[in-house]
Structure 1
Amino acid sequence: MGEIIQLDQIPVSTLKPGAYFEFNTKLARSSLPTNLQRVLIYGQRLATGMTPALTTVDVFNDKDAAVYFGAGSIAHRMVINAIEANPNAQIAVIAVDDAAASQAAQGEVEITAAATGRGILKFFVGPESVDVAIETDMPAADMAAATAAAINANVELPVTATATAGKIKVEAKHKGEAGNQIKLAAVVRYSTGATNTITAQLAGGLADPDLRPAYAAAFGSSYEIRVCPFATQEALLAFRDHLEELGSPLEQRDAIGVAGFPGTLAAATTVASAVNSSIITLAWYNKSKRTTGEIAAGYAAVMAGEEHPARPLNYLEIQGLDIIAQEDYPGRKEQENALHNGVTPLIVGPGNRVQIVRAISTYLVDAQNIPDDSSLDITVFRTLHYFRKACRQAVALRFPRELLSEKTPPKVRTLLLQISYQCEDLEILQNIDQYKDRLVVQKHPQNKGMAVASIPAPIVHGMHVFAGRIDLYV
């Protein structure tokens, strides 16, 4: 006799005559799960935001983000960059308030002389600018006052301004160290062709807020890509702890962490080596006028647009980032140095398009401090995350209330092998025939209610390098 048909809803002891049918949906799904990539942004909110701190909310456009978190807030500006990079990305945000003991970054640009002709004053806050018309002999104080008014009128900017006797005093809307990244420039262009430029950078910002309350508040949610607004060693180590806890075998809410870095390569590699994580990727964009959070949000949104977990992100464009000065372009040697040190370089490609060179993790060495390139590319753990999801979903759907007899491990093994072959068909895994004998499912000898499995995952890597030799024959 073959396997006894199992009934879940019709009691075998039923005696009343009749034809009874129940529905079995455990066998309905034989395909792999989809791999929708949702983005969760952690950020800072302003007091003008309507959404309370530590509340996760879906965001569909930047106008809503301004209402939810305050116009010009870090959370709002990260959403702007994410949507510009990928308008179709599914984005949610959870924000925190400024730290109570923090200080706001400040900066000052002084206009020292009256206008010598008709022209325009462009005042840059990061990569964005406001324009002020100037007339011949216009006093410096009037130019400063008009500029401060224009800055304050553009509520999407991350700063506010005041003017006193030709000095334009600018302060970050948020308190914290993140404001120190904001660069200023006043460029006066006259109709005669003369140009004067004054530059400055905000400074004095202290104490970014602790994001751990936001991590705790969003812990029960599932997002495949999570974005940190800060790129300090302290912030990213806490971010790493959060992601590792989320992705632990008992939680299984796998996520890739994304951060950005506009500083020097030396500083970026220092941070990356300290983090040393297979599930965090740090995008370095040399001397960008965008902040760490804005770079990270754009990078994450582009990553979310690629649902195949193993496909490389090489040379995908990140729209919305500023075009750095040509003298700041990292050369090939610098890009190689970045890739060998856990940093993902961004470059300005043809047509002034900002591109990902190669998306790698910050993982460099194992627990014994031995160099280890097993998870160099961020696609390694994106692939493992997907394969775990496929296996978990298949087992949960097929065996929701299964008995654990000697017949059970072979049935589970057959299902897992089927999932492996399906992943091979999609070029997520490879060489399953070669590894299938290593797929073992057995009853645990100590826990009588537990089945355990060893599941090989020979992942597919991206083709990042092609080298050919051209032989001359004469």
Structure 2
Amino acid sequence: MTITFDEIPYDLRKPGTYVEVAPVYDRKSGTYGWPARAVLLVQKLSTGSAAAATIYRITRPAQGASLFGAGSIGDRMVQAFKAANKTTDLYAIALADKGDGVQATGTFVFTGPATAAGTIAVHVADHRVTVGVAASDSATTIGAAVAAALTAVADLEVTASATTGTVTVTAKHKGEAGNALQLAVNPRIDDVMPAGVGCTVTAMSGGSGNPDVTTLLDAIAAEWFTGAVTAWTDSTSLAALAAWAAERYTAMAHKDVKIYWGPHGTFGQLGTLGGYTNSPHMPSAPGANRSASPPWAWAASLAGIAEAQLAADPARQLRGLALPGIAAPASADRFTEEEQDLLLHSGISTFEVDTDGTVRLDRVITTFKTTSDGAESDAWLDITVPATLSRIRYDWRAHTAATYPRHKLASDGSPAAEHSPTVVTPQKLHGSWAARCQVYERNGWIQDATETVGRSSFERDADDRHRVNSIQRVKVMDNLIVLAGRLEFEV
């Protein structure tokens, strides 16, 4: 064997004992650490200190309000992610509202006067604001009190004003996001409207004009992020995000990223949203109708859970994990099992609700539904598939870079490969792949490694003497998602 050194000159004549120290990676038994790093793509208010299209590292939930403004989309997304995940390295980057955008509005129209004292509970998104009512209070008095109480909540997503008995709430942000904010009066089963008082609620609507997400994507193009969370779900934004994620997944870019987004709406609206993209890199938050928690909070919460759990084990499904702080829709607004199954065929994830109202993930899927020629396919359906393949690719690249950093290339059977530790052959590379696959199989990321390694191949390129081409087969680990049984009884 010819021994070579990186630090000791080959023609050194000075007497002495010289020892260089270097790690050897060819027998590394574990995988290389996955550098999970998430970024929130958010909208900011003028009250936030953040500069537009500038990346900020987030370590505390309170940074959301200071950077992006209290009650902003960015504020809520930071809080939702941090409630679900306190350890993953988190960043955020924001845009101000689109200049010619329009703010969504809604109303609470009160009637009176009250004939008895009582309390009104006004809900804006998942904020509950209670207002005391005295006997004989007029509609005008009640409206003014409600507007004042809403205005006093700094992190509310809306502003409020009153004219006679009509309270108009206006989204703090311009854009479509404000349309998703839910309004309600006395929604709980034990809420009681004061005698003589009535209220008609008009849902938020009219918001339009989202910022251009490509401005943010250009700003973070060179950065490594494993997860990005979007506040925008319009077709233009989702298409741009899908194209950006696809480009980052290519062999020449290898900056794999998952785009988390939050679809909200009726069953029909969710089906439309799921059809906007056909991407293996876009896991959706569970589709919900009339949840008090806004869709960007659902997306950030899912990202917090998924980025932590998939870093620990990319092949393990997320079913049963809770989304902390996320409000479940009322029972009447939840989808039936048949509707949930149809949503899972439309690129929309699903959820379940505990008796105490806790929202739990059911099946988290991507928007991938068909091949490039339009044939139905479930190849990239579950979030675990692209997550596992990203992890394997990252580990293989790290392993080969560490094991063969400056190696020469020879053909199989070369005497140089037998005697020199700095010469590699296609057969040696195939052996390294087999060893790594054993690690992946022990981790439960892949299955049938003996078979797939046998169907993998490494060969020298016919035209480029410095290149090896390979086909590396794996079979991603399955998950127990459906257990179908036939229970027979004897008669």
Residue 467 to residue 277, structure 1, CA distance change in 2 (3 Å): same
Kept in 2: contact 1:134–1:143 (CA 8 A): yes
Q: For each residue in 1:408-447, what CA deviation from the matched residue of structure 2 results, as whole angstroms up to 9, or x when unmatched? A: 1233222222111100001101111112222222222223
Which residue, 359, 371, 376 being the options, matches 1:371?
A: 376
Q: Which residue of 2 aligns with 1:271?
A: 273
1:331 maps to 2:336: yes
Partners of 2:390 and 2:337 in 1: CA distance: 32
Q: Return the letter of the residue paired with 2:210.
A: D
Residue 423 to residue 233, structure 1, CA distance change in 2 (3 Å): same
Partners of 2:196 and 2:335 in 1: CA distance: 31
Partners of 2:262 and 2:440 in 1: CA distance: 32
Kept in 2: contact 1:56–1:94 (CA 8 A): yes
Partners of 2:127 and 2:25 in 1: CA distance: 56
Q: Which residue of 1 aligns with 2:208?
A: 206
SS at match of 1:11: coil
Q: Which residue of 1 aligns with 2:62?
A: 63
Residue 251 (structure 1) shift: 1.4
Q: Return the letter of the residue paired with 1:336.
A: D
Q: Which residue of 1 aligns with 2:353?
A: 348
SS at match of 1:173: strand
TM, length-normalised to structure 2: 0.91
Kept in 1: contact 2:71–2:158 (CA 8 A): yes
Q: Return the letter of the residue paired with 1:254.
A: D
TM, length-normalised to structure 1: 0.94
Q: Return the letter of the residue paired with 1:300.
A: A
**1:17-416 alignment, distance < 5 Å:** 17-27=15-25, 29-35=28-34, 37-187=36-186, 196-282=198-284, 283-306=286-309, 307-406=312-411, 407=417, 408=424, 409-416=426-433
**1:433-472 alignment, distance < 5 Å:** 433-472=450-489
- In structure 1, stretches of 5+ residues that fail to align are none
Give the superposed CA RMSD: 2.0
Q: Return the letter of the residue paired with 1:126.
A: A
Residue 246 (structure 1) shift: 1.8
- My pick for the range that moved more, 369-378 or 57-66, is 57-66
Partners of 1:237 and 1:445 in 2: CA distance: 39
- In structure 2, stretches of 5+ residues that fail to align are 412-416, 418-423
Q: Return the letter of the residue paired with 1:207.
A: G
Partners of 2:3 and 2:196 in 1: CA distance: 89
Q: Which residue of 1 aligns with 2:420?
A: none
Q: Return the letter of the residue paired with 1:124.
A: H
Residue 391 (structure 1) shift: 0.3
SS at match of 1:254: coil
Residue 187 (structure 1) shift: 3.7
- My pick for the range that moved more, 304-313 or 81-90, is 81-90
Kept in 1: contact 2:44–2:73 (CA 8 A): yes
Q: For each residue in 1:383-407, what CA deviation from the matched residue of structure 2 results, as whole angstroms up to 9, or x when unmatched? A: 1010001101101111222222234
- My pick for the range that moved more, 332-341 or 103-112, is 103-112
Partners of 1:147 and 1:335 in 2: CA distance: 38
Residue 196 to residue 35, structure 1, CA distance change in 2 (3 Å): farther
Q: Which residue of 1 aligns with 2:434?
A: 417
Q: Return the letter of the residue paired with 2:403.
A: R
- My pick for the range that moved more, 25-34 or 214-223, is 25-34
Residue 191 to residue 318, structure 1, CA distance change in 2 (3 Å): closer
Q: For each residue in 1:368-388, what CA deviation from the matched residue of structure 2 results, as whole angstroms up to 9, or x when unmatched? A: 101111112111111101000
Residue 217 (structure 1) shift: 0.9
Q: Return the letter of the residue paired with 2:213.
A: L
Residue 473 to residue 166, structure 1, CA distance change in 2 (3 Å): closer
Residue 292 (structure 1) shift: 2.1
Residue 440 to residue 329, structure 1, CA distance change in 2 (3 Å): same
Q: Return the letter of the residue paired with 2:370.
A: V
Residue 366 (structure 1) shift: 0.5
Kept in 2: contact 1:45–1:97 (CA 8 A): yes
Kept in 2: contact 1:181–1:201 (CA 8 A): no
Number of residue-to-residue matches in the alignment: 472
Residue 71 (structure 1) shift: 0.7
Q: For each residue in 1:210-240, what CA deviation from the matched residue of structure 2 results, as whole angstroms up to 9, or x when unmatched? A: 1111111112222222111122222111110
Kept in 1: contact 2:229–2:303 (CA 8 A): yes
Q: For each residue in 1:129-182, what CA deviation from the matched residue of structure 2 results, as whole angstroms up to 9, or x when unmatched? A: 212211111232222222222212211111111222222121111111111112
Kept in 1: contact 2:319–2:363 (CA 8 A): yes
Q: Return the letter of the residue paired with 1:154.
A: V
Q: Return the letter of the residue paired with 2:168.
A: K
- My pick for the range that moved more, 271-280 or 209-218, is 271-280
SS at match of 2:390: helix
SS at match of 1:260: coil
Q: Return the letter of the residue paired with 2:252.
A: L
Partners of 2:300 and 2:318 in 1: CA distance: 15
Partners of 1:6 and 1:410 in 2: CA distance: 22
1:428 maps to 2:445: yes
Partners of 1:89 and 1:186 in 2: CA distance: 38
Q: Which residue of 1 aligns with 2:8?
A: 10
Partners of 1:277 and 1:150 in 2: CA distance: 44
Q: Return the letter of the residue paired with 1:202.
A: M
Residue 191 to residue 55, structure 1, CA distance change in 2 (3 Å): closer
Kept in 2: contact 1:288–1:323 (CA 8 A): yes
Partners of 1:95 and 1:235 in 2: CA distance: 14
Residue 284 (structure 1) shift: 0.5
Residue 190 to residue 270, structure 1, CA distance change in 2 (3 Å): closer
SS at match of 1:447: coil
Residue 192 (structure 1) shift: 6.6
Kept in 2: contact 1:317–1:353 (CA 8 A): yes
Residue 193 (structure 1) shift: 7.2
